[in-house]
Chain A
Amino acid sequence: MSTQKHKLLARKKTGYVQVRMLLRHPMETGNRRDKVTGVKIPRFFIREVTCEHRGVVVLSCHWGWGVSRNPYLSFRLLSGEAGEVITITWADNLGKSNRITTTIK
């Protein structure tokens, strides 16, 4: 899994920083069946997402399998200047984790 296909953007606006994130993940519910074999596709989803800015966790999310595949999330950071780094860390239910960083523009 390269981090290239995940997207994270942070744009400085007046009074806030708009953060937008798009991860690549199948987000399998565990209820779906393979159309050919009829075998259930195992549940596979991102459980936790954490956003850090200036070394502080600003938002932490707990997700279930009801979040759409290739999850999208956007929120507003109340403080933040251009050039500062924003880090998103996530972990799925199989224990794999990953992170993506961006600088505020």
Chain B
Amino acid sequence: MKRRELLKSGIMLSLNTFALSGFGFYSSKISASWPNYIFHTDTIDRAIKEITGQPLHKLQTSDRVKLKVDKIVEDGSTVPVTITSELEATKTITVLSDKNPNPVIARYQMTSNIAPTISTRIKMGGSGSVIAVVETDNGYFSASKKIKVTAGGCA
């Protein structure tokens, strides 16, 4: 019995080291802080709650958060989005889409070395809203825009 367990643990150990060595050469540079839970939330309300700690209706909108995205897009699988924060001390920018099965798309951690402007391309599951949530020292501020997707895109 004991011998069996020892054997098992030995196998597990070697498997573990094998798995670890399989990791890329540069992985040490990447932090292990990928927020699993926020990307797995399945409604926009829950996602906003996870990110800001407040329900969606309490989230403040701000005209100093600029969201640039076309009103009508043909292809929902690549929707160009530009988010600019004119708020001071912008810490993070999060992009969400309310029609996606998992609304949280991306989160950007800003530093003082870059301008708080991010351009990227996102997937949209259908016509709906793109929401940008900006985290500053004074709380969370958002902007959203309704987008019409003519050919369904998110796959």
Residues of A within 8 A of B (CB): 16, 27, 29, 31-32, 47-48, 50, 52-53, 56-69, 71-79, 89-91, 95-99
Q: Which chain A residues border B77 with CB–CB below 8 Å? A: 68-69
Residues B114 and A72 in contact, CB atoms below 8 Å apart: no
> A68 is contacted by which of B27, B33, B79, B114 (Cβ under 8 Å)?
B79
14 A-B interface contacts by CB (under 8 A) = A58-B111, A58-B113, A58-B114, A59-B109, A60-B108, A61-B109, A62-B107, A63-B107, A68-B123, A69-B77, A73-B118, A77-B113, A78-B113, A91-B24
Residues B120 and A89 in contact, CB atoms below 8 Å apart: no
> Do A97 and B23 contact each other (CB < 8 Å), given the known contacts A16-B115, A68-B77, A72-B119?
yes
Q: Which chain B residues border A52 with CB–CB below 8 Å? A: 29
* A52, B113: Cα distance in complex, Å: 10
**What sequence of 0s and 1s flags, for each residue 23-54 of chain B, a beta carbon within 8 Å of any chain A beta carbon?**
11111011101110001000000000000000
Stretch of B2-10, B57-65, B95-103, B136-144 contacting A (4+ beta carbons < 8 Å): B95-103
A63–chain B nearest beta-carbon distance, Å:
5
Number of interface residues of B (CB under 8 A): 43
Q: Is the interface of A mostly helix, strand, loop or mixed?
A: strand
> B100 is contacted by which of A57, A66, A95 (Cβ under 8 Å)?
A66
> A99 is contacted by which of B26, B102, B107, B109 (Cβ under 8 Å)?
B26
* A78, B12: Cα distance in complex, Å: 48
* A71, B121: Cα distance in complex, Å: 7
